[in-house]
Amino acid sequence: MVSDERPSPEGPATFREVFAQREYRAVFAASTLTWVGDYVAKAAVTLLIYRETESVALSAAAFAVSYLPWLVGGPLLATIAERHPFRRVMVVCDLLRMVLMLLVAIPGAPVPVILALLFATTLANPPSQAARSALLPLILPGDRLVVGLSVNASVGQAAQVVGYLLGAAVATVNPTAALLMNAGAFGLSAVIVRLGVRDRPPAMTGEHRSHLLRETAAGFSMVFRTPVLRAIAILVFSAMLFSIVPEGLAAAWANEHAGQSMNPGLAQAVIMAATPVGFILGGLIIGRAVAPARRLLLLRPLAVIAPMALVPALFDPPPVVVALLAAVCGFAVAGLLPMANGLFVQALPDGFRARAFGVMATGVQVIQGAAVLVTGLLAERFPLPIVVGVWSAAGVVLMSIVALRWPDQQTVAASIDAARAASGGADEPVAHGGSTDPTSSDDPGPGHMGPERARQVVT
């Protein structure tokens, strides 16, 4: 019965309810394996190429190559996931990445070959992540989806820390072993998804297909011509402009401002780890302890708090204080992203899940890279605390405008009702009644659009 399939609108879903879903457990386990494996491989390949060439530039290129597929064709590659069953896309991408990582692990391969193989490996990321993001709303109904998003985002941040540490430790002794670990993670992930996830038909049937470029353009049009979706996209992109800055400039801050009290290397590690730690705490605490309706009310205040937390950088605090400021920023961003994601996909008509994910994920990647690049260039000419503080103050102004222009509840509810009707998910509008959280509605079922299809920013 429906009453058994959804959490109560009176309070948030529990972790137990989320992990009670067998398919979610499979997707969660597979995702965690590939996340950790990816970061292990990044650390290993970076070290391997540096040892082979003693070139910082080539070592950095090996790290940066993972971002290229999103920049050169993320939405296009994500659209492919819409054309095929999500489980098949995830399994095939995992197997392809496993084979390619095994080739990277062959000793003595020339550096250009390694870089080419890495690029080919990362081409599988957009369709794989889009398929996973599109699948989760079909598995987790109602508020369970928002809690599931919070869990995924928090675990993704933890996987980054664990993967880098594990990769650096193993690669120092044997880089090939670290690469084989990553290949094994992809292989195991493919098995888990194949056995643990139910097969479903493609979101886009053959008769609805046109040209791949036209389908991708339709995804952009859906996101930016729908007022509610556009508002959410602006909110997410604006949050990314400021939350990435402490991590991106950590090395410079640590080396310029560590002083006598802390080793620069330790200071850099503390600053870089602070945002993921804050993100983990924010995702778990707000996602689990705060009721759905209150989460929605917190969305706009958290949007302003995120950049505001970094404004005190103007006063040139020590690295430990910078880390605390970054953790508060990460906490605020983690509190708003799952709810924003949930609303985003609730307002998407069926058939646009993977494409919308491609649009959002590509935007996040480009904006984060641009924010670090611009602030880094500014820091070449102006004192670093001034750059970070003024940049964050500008963020407060921007996020205040975004919050003031946020659509009202009736507009959001109407957009969700329209999306449900276009998806064939309901003959009547959703009764939003006294609840201010659209994610507390009934299980949308396989034909409806759920939040995680838009993005896994997050993650």
Q: For position 28, what pLDDT does the model report?
A: 93
- For residue 234, what are the CA distances in angstroms to 231, 272, 281, 292, 364? 5, 25, 24, 22, 10
In single-letter form, the type of residue at position 454 comes to: A
Q: For position 249, what pLDDT does the model report?
A: 79
Task: Give the up-direction half-sphere exposure of residue 403: CA atoms within 13 A in the CB hemisphere.
Answer: 20
Say if residues 6 and 146 touch (Cβ distance below 8 Å).
no
pLDDT(162) > 50: yes
Top mean-pLDDT range of 5-19, 180-194, 274-288, 289-303: 180-194
Q: For position 208, what pLDDT does the model report?
A: 56
Q: What is the pLDDT of residues 425-441, one digit of tens each?
A: 543 333 333 333 333 33
Which of 30-39, 127-136, 399-408, 426-435 is the least confident region?
A: 426-435
Q: For position 393, what pLDDT does the model report?
A: 95
Q: For position 137, what pLDDT does the model report?
A: 81
Q: For position 95, what pLDDT does the model report?
A: 96
Residue 408 burial by CB count (10 A; 0-12/13-18/19+): exposed, middle or buried?
Answer: exposed
pLDDT(272) > 70: yes
What mean pLDDT comes out for the span 70-88? 78
Which are the contacts of 412, defined by CB distance < 8 A and separation ≥ 6?
Answer: 228, 343, 347, 438
Say if residues 19 and 25 touch (Cβ distance below 8 Å).
yes
Q: For position 246, what pLDDT does the model report?
A: 83
pLDDT(168) > 60: yes
The sign of the dihedral angle between the CA atoms of 227, 413, 356, 301 is: positive
Query: Residue 397: pLDDT band by 50, 70, 90 thresholds?
Result: very high
pLDDT(103) > 90: yes
Q: For position 411, what pLDDT does the model report?
A: 82
Q: For position 1, what pLDDT does the model report?
A: 34
Q: Is the pTM of this model over 0.75?
A: no
Which of 55-64, 98-107, 128-137 is the least confident region?
A: 55-64
Q: For position 433, what pLDDT does the model report?
A: 31
User: Tokens at residue 113, please?
Assistant: 């070959």
- Per the model's pLDDT, the better-predicted residue between 354 and 318 turns out to be 318
Return mean pLDDT, the chain: 77
- Per the model's pLDDT, the better-predicted residue between 436 and 246 turns out to be 246
Q: What is the pLDDT of residues 324-379, one digit of tens each?
A: 999 999 999 888 887 787 788 777 776 676 677 778 877 887 787 778 778 888 88
Q: How far apart are CA 459 and CA 157, in angstroms?
A: 9
Q: For position 349, what pLDDT does the model report?
A: 75
Query: Residue 7: pLDDT band by 50, 70, 90 thresholds?
Result: very low
Which are the contacts of 197, defined by CB distance < 8 A and separation ≥ 6?
Answer: 23, 26, 27, 86, 87, 90, 135
Which of 60-74, 286-300, 304-318 is the least confident region?
A: 60-74
User: Tokens at residue 279, please?
Assistant: 């993100």
Which of 72-76, 88-92, 157-161, 185-189 is the least confident region?
A: 72-76
- Per the model's pLDDT, the better-predicted residue between 234 and 49 turns out to be 234
Q: Is 106 helix (H, G, I), strand (E, B) or coil?
A: coil
Q: For position 196, what pLDDT does the model report?
A: 93
What mean pLDDT comes out for the span 39-57? 74
